[in-house]
Amino acid sequence: MKLVTYRLGSILMLLFFIVFLIIDLLMEFFLIPKDDLFLRRFITIPTLAALVSLGVIGLIYLPASRGKKKSREYL
C-alpha cells in the first residue's frame, strides 16, 4: 500500500513539474518584455516550483525503491 502511495505521489509531482515548466516557458517567451534583461536572468517562481517538485519526486521515489530492494532480500 505504501508503494502505491509513493508512486501516486511521484506521478502527481511529475505532473506539477510539467505544468510549472510550461508556465515558466510561457512567462519566459511571452509575458516578459525582451528589453528587461534583469527579469530574464532572474529565476522565476515557476522555475523554483518546478525544481522543488523534482526534489520532492526524489524524496518520495528513492526511499520507495530502496524499501523494495530490502523486501526482495528477505524473500
Alpha carbon distances (Å) from 55 to 36, 43, 59: 30, 17, 6
The tens digit of pLDDT for each residue in 38-73 reads: 655 556 677 777 778 777 777 766 665 555 555 555
Q: How confident is the model at residue 74 (pLDDT cuts 50, 70, 90)?
A: very low
Total number of domains in the chain: 1
Domain boundaries, position 45: 2-74
For residues 44 and 38, what is the distance between their CA atoms, to the nearest angstrom?
Answer: 11
CA dist., res. 74 & res. 55, Å (int): 30
